[in-house]
Structures are given as C-alpha cells and as structure tokens.
C-alpha cells in the first residue's frame, strides 16, 4: 500500500504540474486514505477524493482499463525477457513457474518478477531452502 500510495501521489503531482488539475478521484484501497495523506504533504494544492468502487466514474474506469493493458503488456515483456512464462495471480500454474524461475535464475532475481511476500513464494522458498 505504501508503494501504491507513493505512485498515486507522484502521478497526481505530475498531472497537477502539467495540467493544473485541482481535484482527483481515486479508487480507495485503504480506509486510512493513504493517497490523501501523502498528497497533503507533497502536493497540497490537489484535493483527493478516495472513493470505494471509483470505477463508476468514467475517468477512473478508463484509467483502470489503460493500467490493466499496461500491466498485461509488461508481464508479456517480462516473460520474454526472462525466457519463462510468468502466470498471473496465485493459482495452480504459479508454483511450477516459480520453481522453474528459481532453477534458471536463482533467488536473487526473484524480486524483479514476483511479490516475494506472497505465501506461494515464501512456501517454495522454504521448501527449496532459499530464504
């Protein structure tokens, strides 16, 4: 959540400097309103409205579609770059792909393609003695 808040805040600051926006609607991902807290410190001239299910606003829905497309393209690029299929999510294909990645590239490279605090990663790291 800290990384997501920081990235949201950077984006809002950049948008403000380029366009002069004064209000931004963001999909709330925490009851603590972390983006609002961050922007109060870094860009107080932007008023943030953090709303659950903000996709009901057309601009938020459009941004979500663009972000998803960017994510999928990046996952394809990472799969090509590391020469291994990197499945999305935490379903049944993930443990096998994780083991294969570790065999080929080792544990030090794992943070470049995976969230290392996820249960799948921790379990397999312990299984492989790669803590």
pLDDT at 51 over 70: yes
Supply 90's token pair.
């935490």
Residues 65 and 48: their CA atoms lie apart, in Å, by 21
| Listed residue (18, 74, 15) closest to 26, CA to CA | 15
Give the 3-state secondary structure of residue 47. Answer: strand
Q: What is the model's pLDDT at position 82?
A: 95
86, 112 contact by CB (below 8 A) = no
Residues 6+ apart with CB under 8 A from 6: 38
| Listed residue (104, 68, 103) closest to 83, CA to CA | 104
Q: What is the model's pLDDT at position 131?
A: 53
Instruction: Give the model confidence (pLDDT) of 33-45 as tens digits.
Output: 888 888 888 888 9
Residue 56 DSSP class = G
Average pLDDT over residues 51-65: 93
Instruction: Give the model confidence (pLDDT) of 65-118 as tens digits.
Output: 999 999 999 999 999 999 999 999 888 898 899 899 988 998 889 899 888 888
pLDDT-derived band of residue 25, with 50, 70 and 90 as boundaries?
very high
Residues 75 and 119: their CA atoms lie apart, in Å, by 20
| Listed residue (87, 117, 128, 113) closest to 2, CA to CA | 117
């Amino acid at each position: 959540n800290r990384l997501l808040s920081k990235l949201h805040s950077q984006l809002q600051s950049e948008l403000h400097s380029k366009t002069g926006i004064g209000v931004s609607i963001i999909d709330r991902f925490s009851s603590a309103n972390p983006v609002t807290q961050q922007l109060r410190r870094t860009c107080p001239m932007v008023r943030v409205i953090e709303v659950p299910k903000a996709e009901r606003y057309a601009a938020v829905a459009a941004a979500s579609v663009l972000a998803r497309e960017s994510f999928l393209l990046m996952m394809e690029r990472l799969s090509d770059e590391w020469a291994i299929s990197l499945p999305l999510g935490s379903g049944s294909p993930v443990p096998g792909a994780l083991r294969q990645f570790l065999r080929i590239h080792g544990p030090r490279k794992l943070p470049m393609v995976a969230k290392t605090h996820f249960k799948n990663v921790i379990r397999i790291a312990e299984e492989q003695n790669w803590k």
